[in-house]
Amino acid sequence: MKKNFAVRRGALEGIDAFLAVARHRNFRRAAAEMGVTPSAAGQAVRALETRLGVALFLRTTRSVGLTEAGERFLAQAEPAYQALAAAGAAASELGARPAGLLRITVPRSVVPLIIRPMLASFAAAYPEIELEIAVSDEFVDIASQGFDAGMRLGQFIAKDMIAQRLTPPFRLVVVASPDYLSRRGTPKIVEDLQDHACLRLRRTAGGAAPWRFTSNGGPLEVLTRGPLIAGDFLTLLDAAEEGVGLAQVPEPIAVAAVRSGALCPVLLGFAPQAPGVFLYYPGRRQALPKLRAFIDHLKQRLTAPPSLDDAAVSSAKGRGRRQRAAPGTSTATS
């Protein structure tokens, strides 16, 4: 037979009164400590005795003493009650100020964009928070696995979660190395991808995700083929830099490689919009001060993610400087 280990309603009532009377051996002084009337203290103790089915005190007109049952009850109830009070105080402490262990799960591609720039300032601002960043590209059940919050692309967040936007929407862009494009050619339209090696992202369920585009004003999904399927965008980006194939990745993580010349964007006219990165957690009532502090700090520190338009402007300025410098260089060497 299955046993019921639930605590009965009211099982703890009267224990604080019992402990106060046991300390003072006096109902009046115990009542004064508790801030109640002597009659209320007496009623609480009598109700406890009734539930237990045994007298806990020996009462006379001159004194109050413990029965043998009262002595035994005091020996175990007092340390248990103190431990329970300490547990309540510890929990209340976390609800009063930013402190304690804060566990956040994030995809690997989010770390350089959002996490790394704010770590030092957050640690300095909140020394009582112990921040744990668990890097995983799997879709983590944050409640069952003990996380306070997670970060993900917006379209991958369950509808029952509270979501806080961290970045504006950005494009999903296709990139490849100059070496790959020189060998295989540059795709001009989406249909050209059937002749290319496409590096694909693995879905949580195990299959490769299709590539998404915008064509004729509407969404378009394309099933691609290629030599690599990986569980995160940064692995795909690294492989593209090595000339393995084309990769479709979030625009902000590709900007540095495009700016350096390691990668070239293609099919930009067909690039779809992704919702951006969001922080999510189970419910507003569960947002302890440590999580609120983390969210507020992120909002203060975050800037707009880089885009390929910025990279193009930067590259054009660099070419302009080199072209202006060329005549002077030529004169100096002639």
Q: Under DSSP, is residue 277 helix (H, G, I), strand (E, B) or coil?
A: strand
- Give the mean pLDDT of 245-268: 94
- State in words which class domain 100-167+277-304 has: alpha beta
Q: What are the tens digits of pLDDT across the range 201-250?
A: 987 666 788 999 998 878 999 999 999 999 889 999 999 999 999 999 99
Nearest alpha-carbon partner for 98 in 299, 294, 286: 294
Q: Is the pLDDT of residue 48 over 70?
A: yes
pLDDT band, very low/low/confident/very high, at 79 (cuts 50, 70, 90)? confident
Q: What is the CATH number of domain 15-96?
A: 1.10.10.10
Q: How far apart are the first and last CA of the chain?
A: 100
Q: Do the Cβ atoms of 138 and 271 come closer than 8 Å?
A: no
Contacts of 86 (CB under 8 A, 6+ apart): none
With a CB cutoff of 8 Å and minimum separation 6, the contacts of 250 are: 109, 153, 170, 171, 172, 173, 233, 274
- Tell me the domain boundaries of the chain: 15-96, 100-167+277-304, 170-274
What's the pLDDT score for residue 285?
A: 54
For every residue of 156-199, DSSP letters joined together read: GS-TTSEEEE-S--EEEEEEE-HHHHHHH----SGGGGGGS-EE
Instruction: Give the model's pLDDT for residue 327.
Output: 41
Of 72, 16, 14, 67, residue with least CA distance to 45: 14
Angstrom distance (rounded) from CA 154 to CA 327: 51
- Contact yes or no for 131/269 (Cβ under 8 A): no
Q: What is the pLDDT of residues 124-154, one digit of tens each?
A: 999 999 999 999 888 778 877 889 999 988 7
100-167+277-304 matches 15-96 in CATH topology = no
Are the C-beta atoms of residues 148 and 142 closer than 8 Å to each other? yes
CATH class of 170-274: alpha beta
User: Residue 100 to residues 61, 70, 148, 288, 292: CA-CA distances in angstroms?
Assistant: 51, 39, 11, 10, 13
